[in-house]
Structure 1
Amino acid sequence: MALASSYAADCTSESDRNVGIGWFHGSMFFGFAAGPMFGGFIGMSGGPMVIFYTALAMRVMGILFLIFFVPESFPDQSEHATSITSSVKQYFDKTRQQSWMENLKGANPLQIFAAKNVSKKRVRRNLIALASVNTIMFGAFMGAMNVMLLYSEFIFGWGNKQSGVFLSTVNLFRTLATVLVLPLAIRFLKRYFKPARQSTPSKCNCPETGSFDGLDVFLIRISILSDIVGYVGYAIAPTGALFTLSGAVAALGAIGLATSEASMTKIVGTEQTGELLGALGFLQAMARIIAPTVASLTYSRTVSSTPALVFWGVAICFAAAGTATFWVEPDRGSGMYGNEEAVPLQARDQ
């Protein structure tokens, strides 16, 4: 996902980046919605190993599609790029010349958040605050996922079929939120927000925009609010239908993940986008480990007395993420490391 978001950042202008990354997130959520149903159908119609063969075939198809059909994000630069062998050789030659302490510092995945070439403290604060918001939202989402199924089975007596329908429904709403609601929201709300000033001209054949404006912060806050309302709804829902409705409300929170990622890529230059999203992927990987563990342990300790306590805790986490957004100050300049170099694929084809 980090590489996919980096590709989207390369191929889109700043004004379209929220939508581009939202498409990638929407595709992922659609996979979450369709995957279980597709897997269940294959499992019922074939043998137990057919599902694994199908998954392997789909992986191979994805790799072949990337090799033969997906274009380079920067085709002009790729023609002059060094070979992989030369790049690896240069990397090892460089590491041999450095001390082990310098190599250890260079391996720090979070070093971009303390980059020395950040010219303004406000810009660094924005970057750290947005990364914190994104990580908290992602961790809360991952932590509550397994507990939702256990809770619904315990409270409402759901079986595998009802749980599968619930997951597919919620992820379908997340897909609609990122693919349909996000572009429409940007289209109709951008007139009420003054774009940030861009001090250097862009190579993109698109309207001039700022690197990070108030609309991004507004969308993140609205998505966090929907998450809070949704998870409070999970905690107090007396029926399975209202529980599912709460999931539909919380699905709007998917907009916040895509928008926060896009906002961070607007702060850094294109040459640092991969490093930034790699650092964000590391934070999300840590959240993927820690959050489900904490949520599952909490649920196991409180299921007999207050089974909904986990959802209240997740709502508090989202409230903390919402508080962190008030540390974010929209940019009025051109960004952290230089001007925007991204050129949309549509512009390159003209």
Structure 2
Amino acid sequence: MENSIYQQISDDEHDEDEVVELEDEDPIIGSHIENGLLQGEAHPSNKPTVLYLLFFFLINSLAFGIIAVPRMNLVVSLVCRHALEGNEKPDSPPVIIGGFNPQCQSDEISSRTALIAARGNIIVGVLAAVVSTSMGRLSDRIGRVKVIAFNTVGLILTEGTLLTIATFPMSLDYRWLYAAYAIDGASGSYALTMAMASAYVSDSCAPSIRSIQIGRLHGAMFIGIAVGPLLSTLISKIGGSKLPLLVFYVSLAMRFFSILYLQFVPESRLTKTSQLIAEAKPRHLLRLTARSCKPRLNFSKLDPRAWIAHLIPSSVPSSAYLRRNLILLMLIDLLIYAGVMGTMEILILYPQVVFAWGATANNLFMSLVNLCRAAVSTLGLPLLVFLFQRSSFSSSKIAPSTTSTPTTTTTTTTVDEAHHPQSGADPLDKSLILTSLLIDLLGYLGFALAPSGALFTLCGALAAFAATGLASTEAALTKHVDGERTGELMGGLGFLQGCVRVVAPSAVNVVYSATVRRRVPGAAFVGIAGVLGVGVGLMGWVRTR
């Protein structure tokens, strides 16, 4: 055993890294070195695995799915109440805050709601972009679960604010919705949780199975979002017009339960090491570590070239190829994310205007679409992996060079992956991403052209393949950096996704607001299909190992 180990601590105020030498004479650290904990091995009884996060994602997404449609109906009812105030007809029924109001289903109210959602997404996106960058880097020090808990607390405060606005509509008008948007953004929004979950998977899983494991997390999330609207319909019927806000109380209770559950989720290996060092070293080291972990936004370090160079140093073999792939895969991930985020609100507003859907039909549509996303993530993605691997294996048997030395080739690949974790994307990653892009593109074109609600729902099943695209790109991205920089990579991706959340939903909602009055509301879906077409073109430039 060596006489000392080294903990590298990056100081945000300087470009160079400080290295703190830790003597293993310390009884606390020494005892754990013998158990292998400082080498990244968790205690066998509390080993971090993806299974711990699956239940959390299921509960958290179920809470989101329960209020997905009621939340939009809350915004619509608040805007409608403000618009109709003083102009109500004598026989017009009162506006039920948080409930479904047929008198509010008009082009004008739908247009106003889309504009408010666009402004809210700008607020959320700007704040989430800043917070995701800081929290992603901080997670490399304190672990992923603590950052997920921070985000969950923000979601609780956001829904508490919405519930307060809905409870006192006479005192708080619809403009207070922007306060809820601000709290959501300040906590990093759910994009931060997804980024930290991907980093957790990277800490716990081998590169070859990361896409499947991330797909399972997405599957758990979409199962919750799918079942949520069905439960929402049941809860709304139980509450009736007397308790239209009952769904919000149920969702809030589930959020509290999810954050309590996080207390039992083991942290990733980086946190275990940091905690042991913090217990063993004197106060001046703790102050140094705390100072280096403070999430600060240094504008001098926002140069994307410098960030990419830090993620993939020039000393890494094939660094130019890895950097190019990293940039392309990030762009493709952001294009897919733009399609998902940009259409969240109009997938509820569009069928209400075009097909005259009510709250029950909206809930059923969201359930079916998210069930398809769950099925694609949990069953479709492993099936695609199996089919593409089988096709690759069949091709390799035909190639004479591979047939002559099969054992040598396999051994070389395994050793290379073991010694060089920054191996880059492989042909399987490229096939998965390209397939999901093409099917997703067809789904959005179908949204714009569907003449009936049934075909519109069928197109939602095609667009569900965006889930495999996001899971595959995030898994491929983690193969381009080493484990110590995964949190920083995911935090940076969260920053970029926050920027996309500013632009995409705002642009789509503005386009929808303008075109719905001209009787061509499907133009927004055509635009999203064009964006995905750009992603298909970029895939031609992605190189595989």
Q: Shorter-chain-normalised TM-score: which range?
A: 0.7 to 0.9
Residues 226-245 of structure 1, C-alpha deviations (whole Å, 9 max, x = no match): 01111111111111111111
Question: What residue identity is the alignment partner of 2:209?
Answer: D
Q: 1:198–1:209: 8 Å Cα contact kept in structure 2?
A: no
Task: Tell me how far apart the structure 1 counterparts of residues 338 and 539 of structure 2 sit (CA, whole Å).
Answer: 16
For residue 541 of structure 2, what is the aligned residue in structure 1? 327
For residue 250 of structure 2, what is the aligned residue in structure 1? 54
More deviation, 299-308/316-325: 299-308
Q: 2:370 aligns with which of 168, 171, 174?
A: 171
More deviation, 57-66/303-312: 57-66
Residues 111-133 of structure 1, C-alpha deviations (whole Å, 9 max, x = no match): 54342614422111100111110
Q: 1:15–1:209: 8 Å Cα contact kept in structure 2?
A: no
Structure 1 residue 202 corresponds to structure 2 residue 400: no
**Where do residues 73-84 of structure 1 align in structure 2 (5 Å cutoff)?**
73-74=268-269, 77-78=272-273, 81-83=276-278
For residue 259 of structure 2, what is the aligned residue in structure 1? 63
More deviation, 264-273/56-65: 56-65
Q: 1:34 aligns with which of 227, 243, 258?
A: 227
Q: 2:448–2:526: 8 Å Cα contact kept in structure 1?
A: yes
Task: Tell me how far apart the structure 1 counterparts of residues 527 and 302 of structure 2 sit (CA, whole Å).
Answer: 34
Gaps of 5+ in 2: 1-193, 397-409
Task: Tell me how far apart the structure 2 counterparts of residues 185 and 170 of structure 1 sit (CA, whole Å).
Answer: 20
Task: Tell me how far apart the structure 1 counterparts of residues 476 and 351 of structure 2 sit (CA, whole Å).
Answer: 35
Structure 1 residue 230 corresponds to structure 2 residue 443: yes
Residue 543 of structure 2 aligns to a residue whose secondary structure is coil
Distance 1:86 1:177, change over 3 A: farther
Residues 249-285 of structure 1, C-alpha deviations (whole Å, 9 max, x = no match): 1112211110000000011111111111111111112
Structure 1 residue 123 corresponds to structure 2 residue 322: yes
Residue 418 of structure 2 aligns to a residue whose secondary structure is coil
Distance 1:90 1:191, change over 3 A: farther
Task: Tell me how far apart the structure 2 counterparts of residues 258 and 88 of structure 1 sit (CA, whole Å).
Answer: 37
For residue 25 of structure 1, what is the aligned residue in structure 2? 218
Distance 1:210 1:301, change over 3 A: same
Q: 1:270 aligns with which of 483, 493, 516?
A: 483
More deviation, 280-289/15-24: 280-289
**C-alpha displacement of 1:23:** 1.1
More deviation, 38-47/28-37: 38-47
Distance 1:227 1:275, change over 3 A: same
Structure 1 residue 314 corresponds to structure 2 residue 528: yes
For residue 252 of structure 1, what is the aligned residue in structure 2? 465
**Where do residues 57-206 of structure 1 align in structure 2 (5 Å cutoff)?**
57-68=253-264, 70-74=265-269, 77-78=272-273, 81-83=276-278, 89-91=287-289, 93=291, 103-106=298-301, 112-115=307-310, 117-118=313-314, 119=316, 120-193=319-392, 197=413, 200=416, 202=418
Q: 1:5 aligns with which of 174, 198, 201?
A: 198
Task: Tell me how far apart the structure 2 counterparts of residues 79 and 307 of structure 1 sit (CA, whole Å).
Answer: 53
Task: Tell me how far apart the structure 2 counterparts of residues 63 and 88 of structure 1 sit (CA, whole Å).
Answer: 27
**C-alpha displacement of 1:95:** 9.3
**Where do residues 275-294 of structure 1 align in structure 2 (5 Å cutoff)?**
275-294=488-507
Q: 1:127–1:267: 8 Å Cα contact kept in structure 2?
A: yes
Distance 1:94 1:183, change over 3 A: closer
**C-alpha displacement of 1:50:** 4.0
Structure with the larger RCO, 1 or 2 (CA within 8 Å, 6+ apart): 1
Distance 1:81 1:271, change over 3 A: farther
Residue 238 of structure 1 aligns to a residue whose secondary structure is coil
Question: What residue identity is the alignment partner of 2:300?
Answer: K
Q: 1:112–1:275: 8 Å Cα contact kept in structure 2?
A: no
Task: Tell me how far apart the structure 2 counterparts of residues 16 and 87 of structure 1 sit (CA, whole Å).
Answer: 38
Residues 111-160 of structure 1, C-alpha deviations (whole Å, 9 max, x = no match): 54342614422111100111110111111111122222222122212112
For residue 345 of structure 1, what is the aligned residue in structure 2? none
More deviation, 221-230/143-152: 143-152
Residue 329 of structure 1 aligns to a residue whose secondary structure is coil
More deviation, 279-288/225-234: 279-288
Gaps of 5+ in 1: 333-350
More deviation, 266-275/283-292: 283-292
Distance 1:108 1:94, change over 3 A: farther
Q: CA-atom RMSD, angstroms? A: 3.1
**C-alpha displacement of 1:41:** 2.8
Q: 1:151–1:307: 8 Å Cα contact kept in structure 2?
A: yes
**C-alpha displacement of 1:329:** 0.5
Q: TM-score, normalised by structure 2?
A: 0.54
More deviation, 236-245/183-192: 183-192
Distance 1:328 1:305, change over 3 A: same
Task: Tell me how far apart the structure 2 counterparts of residues 54 and 152 of structure 1 sit (CA, whole Å).
Answer: 26
**C-alpha displacement of 1:321:** 1.1
Residues 173-224 of structure 1, C-alpha deviations (whole Å, 9 max, x = no match): 0010011110121123213337994554639xxxx99652111111101100
Q: 2:212–2:382: 8 Å Cα contact kept in structure 1?
A: yes
More deviation, 73-82/29-38: 73-82
More deviation, 183-192/47-56: 47-56
More deviation, 76-85/226-235: 76-85
Q: 2:433–2:472: 8 Å Cα contact kept in structure 1?
A: yes
More deviation, 277-286/52-61: 52-61
**C-alpha displacement of 1:93:** 4.4
**C-alpha displacement of 1:323:** 1.1
Among the aligned pairs, what percent are the same residue?
A: 38
Task: Tell me how far apart the structure 1 counterparts of residues 385 and 219 of structure 2 sit (CA, whole Å).
Answer: 16
Q: 1:110–1:279: 8 Å Cα contact kept in structure 2?
A: no
Task: Tell me how far apart the structure 2 counterparts of residues 87 and 137 of structure 1 sit (CA, whole Å).
Answer: 43
Residue 67 of structure 1 aligns to a residue whose secondary structure is helix
Q: 1:229–1:250: 8 Å Cα contact kept in structure 2?
A: yes
Task: Tell me how far apart the structure 2 counterparts of residues 41 and 110 of structure 1 sit (CA, whole Å).
Answer: 52
**C-alpha displacement of 1:71:** 2.5
Q: 1:221 aligns with which of 434, 450, 459?
A: 434
Larger radius of gyration: 2
**C-alpha displacement of 1:86:** 8.0
**C-alpha displacement of 1:247:** 0.8
Residue 145 of structure 1 aligns to a residue whose secondary structure is coil
Task: Tell me how far apart the structure 1 counterparts of residues 339 and 435 of structure 2 sit (CA, whole Å).
Answer: 16
Q: 2:443–2:459: 8 Å Cα contact kept in structure 1?
A: yes
